[in-house]
Amino acid sequence: MPPIVALQKVSKAYPNRTLALDKLDFEIGQGEFVALLGPSGCGKSTALRLIAGLEKPSRGAIDWGAADAHSIGFVFQEPTLMPWATLFENVYLPLKLQGIKRAAAKQDVLKALDDAGLHEFAEAYPRELSGGMKMRASIARALVTEPKLLLMDEPFAALDEMTRFRLGNDLLKLWGARGKTVVFVTHSVFESVFLSQRVIVMTPRPGRVFTEIVVNAPYPRDENFRTSSVYAGLCRAVSAALADATATDGAS
């Protein structure tokens, strides 16, 4: 698969001189589901914001290849919904910003809500929803423009375990059905292995790639996979890699 985005020796220093990333190098292939795993503060969010074009690298280059700014959807840890607007209006927003009239957008908005399991909640307000449902709405809003690349920044970190599992299962179904490319930032070994085809393990700040681990397990992945010895073995391997990465001095 040709890469949808490639980071070439990307470094990022913030104005306060914090060096968040140091020569970060990786490629994401079209249609891949890749997890970016690393300790808190290692620069995962920074890497995602650079890919989204929300920040500029200090050094190095990002080649978007097949993706472009309109082709990127972003899901944050907080659902960031407009509290005064219905779910329909919230999910319609990105299309509205593109100048698409409500009537013309209606079908796409309802499909995005439907795909996210929210078809009965188009007229509900965020305050009426659980944390998991708000996150579903946030995912629907990111998918409504049909982006090629979906960037997700610890989207399930604030949710309880059962909800996290359910959303993970549903995200995999969406990924399979819609043929998206997903870059999923997490600090959870278990989540990274369950969801992704490949785990990129980062060093502590300044972040760079410590190693990559291929999750060689077929989809669909379900609860049987979650309780399998294959899953346990992969989690052990990723966990060990993360421990090694954390033991290295990122600044050296």
Q: Which residues of the chain form contacts with ligand ADP (CB under 6 A)?
A: 14, 16, 18, 20, 38, 40-46, 205
Minimum distance from residue 88 beta carbon to ligand ADP (Å): 32
Minimum distance from residue 209 beta carbon to ligand ADP (Å): 13
* CA 75 distance to own-chain centroid: 7
Minimum distance from residue 81 beta carbon to ligand ADP (Å): 22
Which residue, 44 or 136, is less far from ligand ADP as judged by CB?
44
Q: Length of the chain in residues, anyone?
A: 252
Alpha-carbon distance 234 to 112, whole Å?
33
Which residue, 73 or 207, is less far from ligand ADP as judged by CB?
207
For 96-162, the three-class secondary structure string (H helix, E strand, C coil) is HHCCCCHHHHHHHHHHHHHHCCCHHHCCCCHHHCCHHHHHHHHHHHHHCCCCCEEEEECCCCCCCHH
Which residue, 41 or 65, is less far from ligand ADP as judged by CB?
41
Q: At how many degrees (to 10) do helices 102-115 and 131-143 cross?
A: 130
Strand pairing of 3-13 and 59-63? antiparallel
Question: Which is it for the CA torsion 216, 219, 225, 228, positive or negative?
Answer: negative
Please, are residues 4 and 30 in contact by the beta-carbon 8 Å criterion? yes
Which residue, 36 or 116, is less far from ligand ADP as judged by CB?
36
Which residue, 49 or 148, is less far from ligand ADP as judged by CB?
49
Alpha-carbon distance 219 to 223, whole Å?
12
Minimum distance from residue 187 beta carbon to ligand ADP (Å): 7
Minimum distance from residue 204 beta carbon to ligand ADP (Å): 9
Minimum distance from residue 20 beta carbon to ligand ADP (Å): 4
Which residue, 43 or 132, is less far from ligand ADP as judged by CB?
43
